[in-house]
Structure 1
């Protein structure tokens, strides 16, 4: 026994008895329609539900349930303040060292990026330092992500500058990108006040989304939308730094569609006025950063096993500040510098709430970008590190980070990919920041840091090569997001990107794929006929599937597809049986050649001639052959069917030469058209009307229509719309197998009773006039 337990079960024995062990899964049942199926297995009608009402009830339960008991209230506060959960369980011995290393490195990265992006946001450098300190500190108490680094982000800084300039333009005032940095109590309408108020407005919008549990909005920002939009916005960031790289001043402000092209035009027109010392410092700074980040960091990481990258941005800032102070860069060479940065913590100031209505549209757009970038990155890192992130709680964390920090001079914040990856590499669990003072730092050095930081975002353009063979629609989403953001302003580009991404879902449903289905030989499965060779097709029975919800956007295409598929299938049936189908009736080939006599059979002494494959004897013989074949398939499922049964639908149904060989002799047999409804995940009212029209038109052509595998919600909709008053319930079947079985039985029954009907004499009058003779057997 021990040996058996050690070796595991005898798989050969299980395999031999597997059919008996799983016999309930393979128990056969007689074919039945949907009504009989529901009655046999006691179908239960679900209660009526209202999605909006259920969502509202769930939202109310989320807030009032903590008030029902002390334990629920305690759990609510523990979930609302995640720090109360992980701090008591903090493993100081294992985590503290990595947290210190990662926190210091991340904090060091905060300094140059915060100062550089402050220039991009149109505020003082000191605001970037405060932005790198207060929001991450507040996020630590509310966030569930262990690695996301909250702080400055190039795209958000640019959008903030655009919103600020729009406000100043609307009020007819001029914005100074650099006010007196020592003025921590600025005028009522200064860039510092506007940026702090904008951060407050973004925080309030994010808190509102958190209260309403609208984190699902982030699902509308696909990876392609985010990648294309951020890459396009990075082009705007790059263009905004060129005036500092070249040392140009007095460039006109541009906005609206095509403003980026005009900015490049203005810069190119002013190239003869480039400030050579500024341009030289910029080029040297970019070269040093590229060498350090692209060559030295990988080399040092490989040879010295470094877990975190060396912050060359900070080294460049220190070196640039020292050289600018040593050689009097500002007074002697005319380099623009950051100027004095005050030390200490500023006094909190209430944001100007009167500006909220004017800033609200831009705040909504920025909040959407912040939420999408942050939540998507948090989910990716959490999945990699095997912990859970609560998207709803993340909205509260982002909202409180922006709202509470807006009482200090800050600009809007977001999650930074670069700093977050540093946290991941250092395996940190908390976030730390530092404050650094850089009085004599040249502004062109900050622009160089920004441009080099954009390198990673610009590399996303390489995604296009990967997306093209995978999905042309995803490729188009990325490209449209990028082009629209580049050609318009950032906010307009965001709206166009999301709108086009949503529009592609309409395109996918408007022109979906459709297929003929066939039976896989030896099984009860029905699959696409064009994808398999070992298939079995049934004469007179067509199985059709439409791979899409049936909506107002595609009902016309659905009806056209049905007619096209039916005509194509009828031509195939005529080619297979030696018959031609006109309308819905089968017609014999009109020819007097000897080979055509093989499809006729004389019945009795009255000389009536009918197609051999429609005669009762041939039907009985074919039924016996089918039964023998099915029995053989059950005994040996791996055996192949005959060549005739393994033919897929040929691709040359539309060949007119086939039609020229077909004559005009009618047969009263019905055709059977089965619609596989498994692709109808949803049907609207126009879709219901389309199904009514299809059913009515087919019935007028003496075609039996079957609806198979319709989902329960779709059938419930049919019940509410009165669809069953036009289409009987007995035309619905639980599976394709049931519909095919019923159709085959009806065909066999109609074939055997064909000669007893008086209509056969009238149908075959033209056959007698042909005086076709066949020797008696």
Structure 2
């Protein structure tokens, strides 16, 4: 019960006042945003309000982040739309039930991960995959609103890019100019206020101005424009979905898993950023439980899948929110809107909601992380680009892009781990051991020092053996091979077996196999398999220098160690 940690702080009047102000401010952004995102999900606008009433409160009570603002978000709404589109085409009357069911599936899966302490599974979605998918998702979301922006209807198509083309063709032929005008006004208000008067809630201002303008001008009745229309007054009743076709429901489960992971990754990324700023303790598994309960609550009260919002969380913390009570205030304001203010939203133009979505997701399109990934590791940049392009091409089947990106990132990681860096070391002038491929240093004909920069397991054990044998072949007078084990974090049964055979083969060629600077995990394995005794306890050393001393002593008095390239130079 994380809320027990902050509920007592509300006795402080300053904290209570700050939370109320932040909660009201977030609600002013959330009300129009949630309606816009619901329509992005292919649902009636009021479903967004239902998903913004109780879920933010539940997430605040049971999540570990105090400032995370939960509710409808763009990417999850887009994925919901992709999941529901085929159902809506086959069953236009009953597909709303499956939106509710999807929220329940997402919630159950997230709670299961949290209770089983499996939040670490989210780490399988690498940063490049998320960056590529987020960029593609933002582009898809923005372009999906073009028809509402221009006030046109276009023929549907199997792929999103084909539908966008149809919309652009229709816009060139039959743009509804007043719809476009309202969109331009809304965008102008939001951009202008954000730049010149940032303290004024720009989204709310755009909604108020365009709604009043649409009412005064008869935008719907006289001009044929599209508005939100009637919104049922009152709070959503608690109910369970009925009349479910379980063949269809099972098809939603795979999408629910992906939405759960993507939604939670977005939420936990935001929560971590805010925790670093406020120095609060964050528990990923507890946050999974909070997000799961909020999704179940959304499903029980006629909502759809929710997650943590970056923009609203930023508004929350920037307005001084200290505890989760700010999200409780946000939910209460949304509840008051449902009870008393829905008639005022009747004349809100659809073009305004489209403008809200477009401006909200433009900031999600970021090329800099891909460029940065290219500088850090080119393969990661390739994963990001492939994920982005494939998601764009396969839309509305968004899960394909994520799954391919996930498989590609894991495959590339395995390939990299199969061929870790193997460095031949020699003594540098400052006394340290350096890679001779980087620093052209002389090496000994009798003693070779080798460093393996990776865990020794089935996929790279053969590679390790090949490299050692290549070194042996290049040094016919070799007597000692010293393995610097500092980089070997783990060793599996295959790696242990290779070490055993390698030591035996070297011994048969009168070459001794020495290991220095081993880690505990390495030593635990070779002790339990008795390889330590077979190679010889005296062949393992805590420092490289001790291994060198052993080798020099073994070479005898005839060997002039003062001329050995591995000797430490003394000024």
User: What band does the TM-score fall into relative to the shorter chain?
Assistant: 0.7 to 0.9
Tell me the residue number matched to 2:189. Answer: 288
C-alpha deviation, 1:675, in angstroms: 1.6
Cα distance in 2, alignment partners of residues 220 and 688 from structure 1: 28
Matched, 1:326 2:216: yes
User: Is the partner of 1:90 in helix, strand or coil?
Assistant: helix
Deviation at 1:526, TM superposition (A): 3.6
- Root mean square deviation, CA, Å: 2.6
Provide the residue aligned with 1:484 in structure 2. 390
* In 2, Cα distance between equivalents of 1:353 and 1:500: 40
Say which SS state the counterpart of residue 426 (structure 2) adopts: strand
Please give the TM-score of this superposition, normalised by the length of structure 2.
0.87
The match for 1:273 is: 173
Aligned runs of 1:130-141 on 2, under 5 Å?
130-141=50-61
Specify whether residues 507 and 292 from structure 1 end up closer, same or farther in structure 2 by C-alpha distance, changes over 3 A only: farther
Provide Cα deviations, 1:93-124, integer angstroms capped at 9, x if missing partner.
22123222211110000011001011101111
How far apart in 2 are the matches of 1:555 and 1:260?
Answer: 46
Task: Give the length in aligned residue pairs.
Answer: 540
Q: 2:37 aligns to what?
A: 117
Say whether residues 1:466 and 2:349 are aligned partners: no
Indicate the SS of the match to 1:333: coil
Which residue number corresponds to residue 566 of structure 2?
Answer: none
Cα offset, 1:721, TM superposition: 4.4
Cα deviation 1:690-724 (Å, max 9, x = unaligned): 33443344344433322223333323323444645
The within-5 A match list for 1:358-373 is 358-373=251-266
**Alignment of 1:215 onto 2:105:** no
Corresponding residue for residue 442 of structure 1? 349
Q: Name the CA distance, whole Å, in 2 between partners of 1:88 and 1:673.
A: 65
Q: Which residue of 2 aligns with 1:613?
A: none
Superimposed CA distance per residue, residues 112-165 of structure 1 (whole angstroms, 9 cap, x where no aligned partner): 100101110111111111222121122232222111100110000111111112
Deviation digits for residues 340-359 of structure 1, max 9, x if unmatched? 11222132222238455342
Matched, 1:147 2:71: no
SS of corresponding position for 1:204: helix
User: Deviation per CA, 1:417-453, whole angstroms, max 9, x where unpaired?
Assistant: 0010111111213222232531011112111111111
Which secondary structure state, in structure 2, belongs to the residue aligned with residue 673 of structure 1? strand
- Take 1:719 and 1:681, find their aligned partners in 2: how far apart are those partners? 15
Instruction: Output one character per residue of 1:496-518: Cα deviation in whole Å (capped at 9) or x when no partner.
Output: 22222322321321222121223
| Displacement after TM superposition at 1:528 (Å) | 3.5
- Which structure exhibits the higher relative contact order, with contacts defined as CA atoms closer than 8 Å and separated by 6 or more residues? 2
Give the match's secondary structure for 1:369.
helix
Q: Secondary structure at the match of 2:448?
A: strand
Q: Does 1:678 align with 2:571?
A: no
Bigger mean CA offset, 691-700 vs 384-393: 691-700
Which runs of no fewer than 5 residues in structure 2 stay unpaired?
Answer: 561-571
TM-score (norm: length of structure 1): 0.65
Range that drifts further, 105-114 or 312-321: 312-321
Q: Which residue of 2 aligns with 1:404?
A: 297
Q: CA deviation at 1:522?
A: 7.7
Matched residue, 1:555: 461
Note the C-alpha offset of 1:536.
Answer: 8.8
2:163 to 247, 255, 263: 263
Q: Is the 8 A contact 1:402 1:413 kept in 2?
A: yes
1:507 maps onto 2:397 in alignment: no
| Residue of structure 1 equivalent to 2:381 | 475
Question: Partner of 2:84 in structure 1?
Answer: 164
Structure-2 separation of matches of 1:120 and 1:359: 18
Distance 2:27 2:493 in 1: 58
| Maintained 8 Å contact 1:239/1:263 | no
Cα deviation, 1:654-679, whole Å, max 9, x if unaligned, reads xxxxxxxxxxxxxxxx5222122222
Structure 1: 5+ residue runs without aligned partners?
1-79, 176-186, 302-308, 571-583, 586-669, 753-777
1: distance between equivalents of 2:415 and 2:141? 33
Find the aligned partners of 1:238 and 1:495 in 2 and give their Cα distance: 23
Tell me the CA shift for residue 542 of structure 1: 0.9
Q: Is the 8 A contact 2:190 2:205 kept in 1?
A: no
Which piece of structure 1 moves more, 432-441 or 688-697? 688-697
Query: Does residue 1:312 correspond to 2:202, yes or no?
Result: yes
CA distance in 2: counterparts of 1:564 and 1:751, whole angstroms: 25
Which whole-Å CA distance do the structure 2 matches of 1:333 and 1:522 have between them? 82
Q: 2:362 aligns with which of 455, 465, 479?
A: 455
CA distance in 1, matches of 2:412, 2:495: 20
Q: Distance in 1 between matches of 2:469 and 2:410?
A: 30
Find the partner of 1:745 among 553, 559, 562: 553
Classify the secondary structure of the residue corresponding to 1:203.
helix
